[in-house]
Structure 1
Amino acid sequence: MRISVIIPVYNAEKFIYQAVESVLQFDEVIEIILIEDKSPDNALQICQQLAEKHDRVKLYQHPDKENHGASSSRNLGIEKATGDFVAFLDADDYFLPNRFDAERELFKNPKVEGVYGALGVHYYSEKAKQQYYPLYGDRLTTVYKKYKAKDVFPGQLHMLGSFGLFSIDTLTIRRESLMKKMKTLFKSHLRLHEDTEFLFRLSYYLDLYPGSIDKAVAMRGVHENNRITKVDMRVIDPAFSRALLWKEVDQWSQTENAIPRETKIHIKRMRRSFEIAKAPTLKKWGMIAKYLVTDYKSIRSGLYNINFRGSLI
């Protein structure tokens, strides 16, 4: 196996050393591609030091040396990658020694186009643990049982609660399949939930298989300045960010004729649920009344309890 690991770097001076060191332990990794995204801290200098110290560490910036976000940074990393396989790591996370154990066997089968695993949680400080433990606890982010590749896309959409989730940090992709089958890589205009949107589409186009799903292969580093935890803990309205996500998924699904009609309807209901959840209270009641008339099922579904009711209080 020849693996390229892509790490977008933004505001991660405290963590990038650990991330890179966690990847260097694997002989299969032929290159660690750092995409420095105009960090406001000293991350660029640290990346330069790492690139000088290790032959396998390659440092890039965007052509204009400006900030373009995680999506554009990952896309640039994919463009620069030379490995047969691509893996991703956030700069404040790290790999565990078993990260590619399952991949070594599964990728011997040419039908396997991607492998996903379980993600653990590491709190960098007691303050971070106190702040975010209600959100993550000590739980694994994982798919709960081994599913066939054909079930991954509908499972993520229809059975989110019972199916589970996998993370970009635990995903390894056959690069040839990625470049041939994905019409669009990460969408650069999305600044939040861009990885979730990518994983939905990826699981539709590629055959993804479970690796280690009951034991972590990587760790999510949780600290006070995590970008996504700020969203989930309502520094940014989570309903607003998820409404944008499902709007994007809805628009994409309409372009794929092979997606079953019932799946497209489910996606549209998810979009509507978050659009209602993010609306002001008076508008929210009006939207609910509208959908009671035009789409009674979406109001009667579990989405009502999850997204509408809590935001009406």
Structure 2
Amino acid sequence: MMKISVIIPVYNAEKYVTQAVESALQFDDVCEVLLIEDRSPDNALEVCRLLASKYEKVQLFQHPDKGNHGAGATRNLGLEKASGDLVAFLDADDYYLPNRFDAEREIFKNNEVEGVYGALGVHYYSERAKAQYYSIFEDRLTTVYQKHSPKDVFEGQLNMKGSFGLIHLDTLTIRKESLKKMQDFFKVHLRLHQDTEFLFRLSYYLDLYPGILDQAVAVRGVHEENRITKVDSGIIKPASTKILLWKEIHEWAIQEPSIPENVKKHIARTHRSFEIANAPAPRKWLMIAKDLITDFRGIRSGLYNINFRKDLF
């Protein structure tokens, strides 16, 4: 039997965290559920205390200074405290489905497997949330569309493999020992998209295998207060947040000598496209003019990047 530590960062989730915890406790393979409370403004800490007293497998932690440090530092603390052979993540307003670890039980029998990912569904917690965000998420799965070799996952996540799809942290299970290949885990200075940045680097250093891709193994809870929901919907301008994400990936790629040059160029161009998209109008067109002269291929790839194009025009 597997020994899985489930890490749940908790912030402003008093309405949802009980469902998240109980969805993880349904599995005998889960040896512990680690609630890492990040100084929530609501009553989440008290709910977490009740859950820890009710369930033997649930442990509650806070940062040493009891402060708010963001999702990256909170997940890092969970990784530090985890004692299982495998680690899985779950957002406090999301939940696992009964098939969450069905594929993992078989795939992890192969000791070369370092991680397994699956598909994420969506649930709207209210009619208002559905009316506001259905056009963004609909009822689609967040998933990698086909089963790929681990060697293709990194470039696939970077959009270098066509319509590859996306890995979501809720569906990822990692062999904890394999994390030693990474120098650091979640970037604490990224307040948004630190999970995406982590997944990019993780897919480079670890061999990640496909699990169940054609049906959900976990569910994203969509509600009005969710910060990522606001980013994905455009309430928070995505270019302004993604420019920081791609800056981080670009700097890492420069320092990682084993990354092929064509991949480094792709990362640099993607970073540049978001820089241009986020620039004020006069500077934006000067940047485009410069890149048309110095790197026509790069600016063309930027102009055909859907995220860049919708922010540009």
TM bucket (normalised to shorter chain) is over 0.9
Distance apart, 1:161 and its partner CA: 5.1
Distance apart, 1:8 and its partner CA: 0.2
Q: What are the residue-to-residue correspondences of 1:1-313 with 2, within 5 Å?
A: 1-159=2-160, 162-178=163-179, 180-301=180-301, 303-304=303-304, 306-313=306-313
Distance apart, 1:302 and its partner CA: 5.8
SS of equivalent to 1:220: strand
Residue ranges of structure 2 left out of the alignment (5+ in a row):
none
Q: What is the alpha-carbon distance in structure 2 between the residues aligned to residue 12 and residue 45 of structure 1? A: 11
Residues 115 and 233 (structure 1 numbering): CA distance in 2 closer, same or farther, change over 3 Å?
same
One-letter amino acid matched to 2:245: L
Contact 1:6 1:74 in 2 (8 A): yes
Write out per-residue CA displacement over residues 254-307 of structure 1, whole angstroms, 9 at most, x where no aligned residue.
111111000000000000000101111111111101111111102222644524
Q: What is the alpha-carbon distance in structure 1 between the residues aligned to residue 246 and residue 276 of structure 2? A: 12
Residues 161 and 93 (structure 1 numbering): CA distance in 2 closer, same or farther, change over 3 Å?
farther
One-letter amino acid matched to 2:215: K
Q: Which stretch of structure 1 is more off in the superposition, 296-305 or 68-77? A: 296-305
Contact 2:270 2:302 in 1 (8 A): no
Distance apart, 1:131 and its partner CA: 0.5
Write out per-residue CA displacement over residues 93-128 of structure 1, whole angstroms, 9 at most, x where no aligned residue.
000000000000000000000000000000000100
Taking only aligned residues, the RMSD between alpha carbons, in angstroms, comes to 1.1
Q: What is the alpha-carbon distance in structure 1 between the residues aligned to residue 34 and residue 158 of structure 2? A: 31
Q: Which stretch of structure 1 is more off in the superposition, 291-300 or 19-28? A: 291-300
Write out per-residue CA displacement over residues 140-190 of structure 1, whole angstroms, 9 at most, x where no aligned residue.
000000000111001111336500001000000000011x20111001001
Residue ranges of structure 1 left out of the alignment (5+ in a row):
none
Q: What is the alpha-carbon distance in structure 1 between the residues aligned to residue 159 and residue 221 of structure 2? A: 29
Residues 70 and 305 (structure 1 numbering): CA distance in 2 closer, same or farther, change over 3 Å?
closer
Contact 1:113 1:173 in 2 (8 A): yes
Q: What is the alpha-carbon distance in structure 2 between the residues aligned to residue 72 and residue 41 of structure 1? A: 20
Distance apart, 1:67 and its partner CA: 0.2
One-letter amino acid matched to 1:115: V
% identical equivalent positions:
70
Distance apart, 1:237 and its partner CA: 1.7
Contact 1:117 1:210 in 2 (8 A): yes
Query: How high is the TM-score relative to the length of structure 2?
Result: 0.97
Spell out structure 1 runs of 4+ moving beyond 3 A.
158-161, 302-305
Q: Which stretch of structure 1 is more off in the superposition, 150-159 or 189-198? A: 150-159
Q: What is the alpha-carbon distance in structure 2 between the residues aligned to residue 158 and residue 135 of structure 1? A: 19
Distance apart, 1:234 and its partner CA: 2.7
Q: What is the alpha-carbon distance in structure 1 between the residues aligned to residue 32 and residue 282 of structure 2? A: 54
Distance apart, 1:308 and its partner CA: 4.3
Q: What is the alpha-carbon distance in structure 1 between the residues aligned to residue 161 and residue 306 of structure 2? A: 12
Contact 1:156 1:200 in 2 (8 A): yes
SS of equivalent to 1:301: helix
Residues 154 and 309 (structure 1 numbering): CA distance in 2 closer, same or farther, change over 3 Å?
closer
Q: What is the alpha-carbon distance in structure 2 between the residues aligned to residue 5 and residue 12 of structure 1? A: 17
Q: What is the alpha-carbon distance in structure 2 between the residues aligned to residue 283 and residue 224 of structure 1? A: 34
Contact 1:273 1:304 in 2 (8 A): no
Q: What is the alpha-carbon distance in structure 2 between the residues aligned to residue 280 and residue 66 of structure 1? A: 36
Contact 2:76 2:185 in 1 (8 A): yes
Paired residues in the alignment total 312
Contact 2:143 2:213 in 1 (8 A): yes
